[in-house]
Amino acid sequence: MNILIPARMASTRLPGKPLADLAGKPMIVRVAEAAARANPDRLAVATDDQRIADAVRAAGFEAVLTRADHASGTDRLAEAAQAMGLDDAQIVVNLQGDEPFMPPTILQQVADALEAHRECAMSTAAHPIHDQAEFLNPNVVKVVCRQDGRALYFSRAPIPLARDRANGWPGADSDQVLRHIGLYGYRVGFLRRFPMLPAAPIEALESLEQIRALWHGHEIMVVRLDADPGAGIDTPDDLVRARARLA
């Protein structure tokens, strides 16, 4: 397993996020430290910003400078995998650069799921939603799976909708409502091809890049977790909570 962490400075809700201080260290360094606990074969941060690369290297981690015009983090990782000379059969786990609390066991589970299901192009993770407000929140991405655990569809809409219940909420005890975690496993060969696939119309509507894989007939294995591993850091309030947790 290799772990690649995309990072850029141009966050709209939290400018300069990768270098935000978390208990004396830049956030991106905290994320790299969390990833290192999964004991990957190789770990690198893919970034278009020299300041991020300098901070990562100063902490003893590998950084790969990429172009600044990538449309997504996946595109950035594809360039980084090429620059690193990774073999097409190797597995890369994409850990977002704002996830300093992601348990290393989940990174390994996502990699193992892809290794075990060679017919799948990607893997990811999800956990049950027990809160109606989260179910209705368009910022919370939901996923519906097949019987064998592969993704049917991802959406910001409340899915699956209980037709005969208020607001469509199936209830807190339902095991069918899953929150998608933005963590992905790829085989390097597919990671190289993914940016060349035409974007899907529904991908643009939902603003969810992973739908492109489903649209083109590629399967995504979903690791079902028992509980929420913790949210990433997207806003100034999230940053305050993260600092308090580390303190």
Per-residue model confidence as pLDDT tens digits over 48-95: 999 999 999 999 999 999 988 887 878 889 999 999 999 999 999 999
With left for phi above 0 and alpha for psi between -120 and 50, is residue 132 left, alpha or beta?
alpha
Task: Give the pLDDT of residue 75.
Answer: 86
Task: Give the pLDDT of residue 9.
Answer: 86
Task: Give the pLDDT of residue 13.
Answer: 74
pLDDT over 90, % of the chain: 80
**Does 11 have pLDDT greater than 80?**
no
**Does 227 have pLDDT greater than 90?**
no
Degrees (nearest 5) of the Cα angle 151, 157, 160?
55
Indicate whether this model's pTM tops 0.75: yes
Matching residue, tokens 């949210």: 231
